[in-house]
């Protein structure tokens, strides 16, 4: 045990003679806070390492953390600078992965990413690192010439895992009716350091050596798999007991007739249990190249004589498993005992416990499907029922498979890990993530551990993308006879789409989203739903592979991405549905879609969508009755319910406000009394709003939306002298927005002072910049200047004050003023869980009858959201898209090319289905001679 304890006391070797420490006065590195797991108290470096770095001229930033086991005062004493903002550093070290939102672009990071097997929970992080052009050095892939890891916590994982399973054995023995000295060994994290844990193990060993173990349990035997750091760490702890090591083939004898004043152990190497399937021979060279030709006889030769298995081997899908469910069933079969009594019961079976330190779910221990945790370290695996019990009692094998074991002994683990990482820091410090990787002077140990750089996977790790796609394809194609739908986007409106489509048990929906967690939450609610991580903008190859495995694609992504998606759909001959406007870029794909025999349904949402269908239903019927359409007016708005509109904008956001804000400076064109009215871009739109009194109970205003005049041809109403489509808001919205426009806040131009790397800026300072004042101007003079700029409007001034935009409140960091305002309003005006939104739509169609009478059809729709279900916006956008998708899947929409819902074959069935979903349309008429 001297070797183990000396690791804690060993001083870091001086690397001055063989490492590049020429000049590091300009180098800045950082140690980030561990914030993913509450048990994670380690750090990548200890104070002694920081001291040597700062002595060499390196500036070391330390992010504050009360959770870190080594107090920050020791780091500060060593020369670290305690600082929250790490953007100054070019190299940022951690132990475990950071949250995506805290990753700083174009930096070099080093941590355990757990991405090299394409682990699904961490694919979102990997995509984020690629998008932000981060250079990731993964400790797990830092290996020597023989492929052995050189920067790892494996030794400490073995130490903690062994302490834990000895504690677990004590609990399991007690549950089976036996008090043993293992009961006096606690969980590893209950000890201040490893020395205290070792003393507890020694005390246990003393009792064992006195021959005080219950005779009816027989000799206790341990089996260690592997000979690496994990196994050696675990053995170091067991060596504090009176232990005799035997060869694997000797374990049977000692398990039956061994000395009860000691425990027995064996260390299992490959040649002990692997054999070629064809002839039972083990050839180490062949096994390296073709492990699939081999199997393991561990289940029959060693496992039946093992009390506790400590598994520390790395597993690959091609390699044989140690134990399967069938093996566990056989090992759990009770053996009769003639000497057992009620007070001295026999054990139900020999194999009582497995400590799977490798924590490879579904790996070498096939039935280890889920890791245990430090909070709940043990479970019982019942092989007969193939279930885990969160207990140490009952039938089964005690399982312990914690995947962050070294966190239980954080101080020793930090010093041990830092000693191994430290020699490589000198070459990592000059790393510049904006430079090409081949320009860095890295050793093979560091270079081969770089997973991402310059926005791409490095050549050695390009296989990760292929692994992801293969796993996704297997999951998607698992069930036969399914109609497969690919839904792009997992936002608010996606819920009704998934809910509607999966009512049919033969329909499967793949939800592909850049926000994997959001997709997973959606998939958890509905059957036959698969969550997938996908960034359409940067993963075109991945998008294409997903499209080809589906019969239909529904895109709820921004309209700018639809031409790209549609191009792949046409190439793969896959139909598509979207709720967005039919853009010029999409129109260009019409002939190629027709030639490919592909249907692409557009404008199948609320506005556009339901408005088209209601319009065409009325217009077609009027024409059939011989009427002429003289006017058409359609206004629609997504609003908070009146009781939730208590803010100056009288508005709330159920999704990103960016598009809503940008629309306020858009141009508009409409027809009024045969005159074309044009409203220029830049903010005049907000000055054109008018009161809308068709629902007197609502205080509404409306303003034109885009180019309404083009719908004269689309709707076939060239006879109309008035044609306008517009947006509804509560009164006051336009005036407040007009103030934002006058202050230059609706600007998408790049704003350097709001970049993430810039110092924080207050709203006062930003508005001073917008009106041409110094940030140091007195507050009264600042408010006067703003008041003048907004046209001396008290309502707008009160609006700015309500939103905190005349104060020293910080502006959200973003690329532009508009992006910053978007974040600010999204935070201030999001819906609470108890609040609801609403949709109001009103179509007024003026019809001239053959008799000369003028009739106006008033078609209205009002939909309220359900705080415990779907929002009104989600219902009115999601259900039309889902209904169109179902119609395409079932062959009810068969027209090829680009399609909009303006024909009776589409709008007739679709409106009927919408009524079934609770969307009720009201129609009234007024006559005029």
Residues that are catalytic:
607
For 867, other C-beta atoms within 10 Å of its C-beta total 15
H helix or E strand, kind and range, residue 923: strand 921-928
Q: Where are the alpha helices (DSSP H) in 388-429?
A: 410-428
The DSSP secondary-structure symbol of 216 reads G
The answer to whether residues 700 and 729 touch, using CB atoms and an 8 Å cutoff, is yes
Instruction: Report the C-alpha gap between 829 and 649 in whole angstroms.
Output: 9
Count of H-run helices and E-run strands, the chain: 32, 34
Q: Which residues, listed in sequence order, are joined to residue 398 by a DSSP beta bridge?
A: 353, 380
Instruction: Report the C-alpha gap between 856 and 859 in whole angstroms.
Output: 10
Instruction: Report the C-alpha gap between 272 and 247 in whole angstroms.
Output: 9
What is the number of alpha carbons within 13 Å of residue 900 lying toward its C-beta?
22
Helix H, strand E, coil C: the string for 858-899 is: EEEEEEECCCCCCCHHHHHHHHHHHHHHHHHHCCCCCCCEEE
Residues 6+ apart with CB under 8 A from 857: 618, 622, 843, 844, 845, 847, 923, 924, 925
The answer to whether residues 438 and 188 touch, using CB atoms and an 8 Å cutoff, is no
The DSSP secondary-structure symbol of 439 reads G
Least Cα distance to 405 among 358, 362, 370 occurs for 358
Q: 116-130 burial, b for 16+ CB within 10 Å, e for fewer?
A: bebbbebbbbbbbbb
Distances from the Cα of 147 to the Cα of 151, 306, 804, 811, angstroms: 12, 30, 57, 49
The DSSP secondary-structure symbol of 605 reads B
SS3 690: strand
Q: Which residues, listed in sequence order, are joined to residue 91 by a DSSP beta bridge?
A: 29, 108
For 693, other C-beta atoms within 10 Å of its C-beta total 10
The DSSP secondary-structure symbol of 750 reads B
Least Cα distance to 556 among 519, 593, 507 occurs for 519
For 404, other C-beta atoms within 10 Å of its C-beta total 21
The number of residues making up the chain comes to 929
Instruction: Report the C-alpha gap between 404 and 552 in whole angstroms.
Output: 42
Instruction: Report the C-alpha gap between 5 and 227 in whole angstroms.
Output: 20
The answer to whether residues 413 and 188 touch, using CB atoms and an 8 Å cutoff, is no
β pairing state of 628-640 and 837-848: antiparallel
For 895, other C-beta atoms within 10 Å of its C-beta total 14
β pairing state of 690-692 and 700-704: antiparallel
The answer to whether residues 400 and 354 touch, using CB atoms and an 8 Å cutoff, is yes
Instruction: Report the C-alpha gap between 62 and 43 in whole angstroms.
Output: 10
Instruction: Report the C-alpha gap between 143 and 868 in whole angstroms.
Output: 52
Q: What is the spatial order of strands in the sheet that 552-555 belongs to?
A: 529-533, 507-513, 483-488, 552-555, 575-578, 599-601, 897-899
Q: Where are the alpha helices (DSSP H) in 25-69?
A: 47-55
Instruction: Report the C-alpha gap between 82 and 64 in whole angstroms.
Output: 6
User: Omega before 61 cis (within 30°)?
Assistant: no
SS3 234: helix
């Amino acid at each position: 045990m001297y070797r183990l304890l000396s690791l804690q006391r060993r001083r870091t070797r001086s690397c001055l003679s063989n490492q590049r420490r020429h000049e590091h006065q300009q180098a800045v590195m950082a140690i980030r806070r561990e914030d993913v797991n509450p048990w994670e108290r380690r750090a990548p470096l200890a104070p002694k390492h920081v001291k040597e770095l700062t002595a060499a001229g390196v500036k070391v930033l330390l992010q504050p953390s009360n959770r870190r086991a080594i107090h920050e005062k020791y780091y500060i004493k060593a020369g670290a600078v305690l600082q929250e903002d790490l953007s100054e550093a070019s190299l940022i070290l951690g132990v475990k992965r950071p949250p995506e939102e805290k990753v700083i672009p174009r930096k070099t990071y080093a941590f355990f990413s757990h991405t090299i097997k394409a682990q699904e929970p961490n694919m979102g992080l990997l995509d984020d690192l690629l998008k932000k052009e981060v250079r990731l050095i993964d400790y797990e892939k830092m290996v020597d010439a023989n492929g052995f890891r050189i920067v790892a916590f494996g030794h400490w994982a073995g130490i903690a895992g062994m302490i834990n399973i000895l504690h677990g054995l004590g609990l399991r023995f007690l549950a089976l009716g036996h008090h043993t000295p293992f009961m006096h060994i606690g969980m590893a994290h209950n000890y201040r350091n490893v020395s205290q844990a070792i003393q507890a193990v020694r005390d246990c060993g003393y009792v064992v050596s006195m021959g005080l173990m219950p005779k009816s349990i027989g000799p206790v035997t341990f089996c260690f798999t592997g000979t690496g750091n994990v196994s050696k760490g675990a053995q170091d702890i067991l060596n504090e007991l009176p232990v005799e090591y035997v060869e694997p083939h000797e374990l049977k004898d000692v398990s039956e007739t061994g000395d009860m004043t000691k425990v027995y152990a064996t260390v299992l190497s490959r040649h002990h249990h692997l054999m070629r399937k064809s002839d039972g021979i083990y050839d180490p060279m062949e096994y390296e190249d073709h492990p699939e030709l081999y199997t393991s006889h561990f289940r029959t030769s060693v496992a039946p004589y093992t009390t506790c298995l400590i598994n520390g081997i790395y597993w690959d899908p091609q390699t044989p498993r140690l134990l399967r469910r069938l093996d566990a069933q056989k090992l759990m079969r009770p053996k009769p005992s003639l000497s057992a009594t009620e007070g001295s019961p026999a054990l139900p079976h020999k194999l009582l416990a497995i400590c799977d330190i490798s924590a490879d779910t579904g790996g070498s221990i096939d039935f280890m499907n889920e890791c245990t945790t430090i909070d709940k370290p043990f479970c019982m695996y019942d092989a007969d029922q193939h279930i885990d019990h969160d207990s140490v009692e009952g039938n089964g094998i005690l399982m312990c498979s914690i995947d962050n074991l070294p966190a239980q002994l954080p101080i020793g683990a930090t010093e041990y890990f830092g000693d191994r990482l430290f020699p490589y820091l000198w070459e990592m410090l000059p790393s510049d993530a904006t430079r090409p990787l081949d320009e860095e002077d890295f050793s093979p140990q560091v270079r081969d551990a770089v997973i991402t750089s310059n926005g791409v996977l490095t050549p050695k790790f390009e296989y990760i993308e292929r692994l992801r796609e293969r796993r996704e394809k297997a999951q998607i194609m698992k069930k036969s006879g399914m109609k497969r739908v690919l839904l792009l986007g997992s936002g608010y409106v996606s819920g009704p789409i998934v809910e509607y489509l999966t009512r049919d048990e033969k329909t499967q929906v793949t939800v592909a989203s850049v926000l994997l967690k959001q997709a997973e939450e959606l998939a958890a609610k509905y059957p036959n739903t698969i969550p997938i991580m996908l960034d359409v903008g940067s993963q075109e190859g991945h998008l294409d592979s997903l499209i080809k495995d589906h019969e239909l694609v529904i895109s709820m992504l921004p309209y700018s991405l639809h031409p790209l998606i549609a191009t792949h759909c046409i190439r793969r001959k896959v139909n598509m549905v979207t709720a967005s406007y039919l853009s010029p870029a999409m129109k260009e794909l019409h002939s190629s879609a027709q030639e490919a025999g592909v249907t692409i349904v557009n404008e199948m949402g609320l506005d556009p969508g339901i408005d088209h269908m209601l319009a065409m239903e009325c217009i077609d019927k009027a024409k059939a009755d011989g009427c002429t359409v003289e006017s058409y007016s359609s206004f629609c708005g997504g609003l908070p319910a009146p009781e939730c509109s208590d803010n100056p904008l009288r508005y709330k956001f159920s999704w990103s406000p960016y598009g809503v804000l940008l629309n306020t400076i858009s141009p508009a064109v409409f027809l009024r009394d045969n005159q074309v009215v044009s409203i220029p871009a830049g903010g005049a739109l907000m000055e054109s709003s008018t009161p809308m009194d068709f629902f007197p109970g609502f205080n509404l205003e409306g303003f034109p939306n885009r180019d309404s005049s083009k719908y004269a041809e689309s709707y076939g109403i060239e006879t109309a002298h008035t044609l306008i489509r517009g947006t509804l808001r509560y009164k006051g919205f336009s005036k407040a927005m007009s103030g934002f426009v006058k202050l230059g806040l609706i600007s998408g131009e790049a704003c350097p002072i709001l970049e993430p790397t810039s110092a924080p800026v207050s709203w006062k300072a930003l508005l001073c910049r917008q009106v041409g004042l110094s940030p140091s101007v007195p507050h009264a003079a600042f408010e006067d200047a703003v008041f003048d700029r907004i046209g001396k409007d008290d309502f707008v001034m009160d609006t700015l004050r309500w939103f905190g935009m005349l104060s020293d409140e910080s502006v959200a960091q973003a690329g532009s003023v508009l992006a910053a305002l978007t974040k600010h309003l999204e935070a201030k005006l999001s819906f609470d869980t108890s609040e609801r939104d609403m949709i109001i739509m009103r179509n007024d169609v003026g019809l001239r009858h053959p008799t000369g009478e003028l009739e106006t059809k008033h078609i209205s729709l009002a939909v309220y959201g359900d705080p415990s279900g779907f929002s009104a916006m989600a219902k009115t956008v999601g259900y039309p898209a889902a209904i169109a998708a179902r119609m395409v899947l079932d062959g009810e929409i068969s027209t090829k090319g680009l399609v909009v819902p303006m024909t009776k074959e589409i709008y007739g069935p679709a409106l009927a289905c919408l009524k079934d979903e609770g969307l009720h349309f009201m129609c009234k008429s007024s006559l005029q001679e």
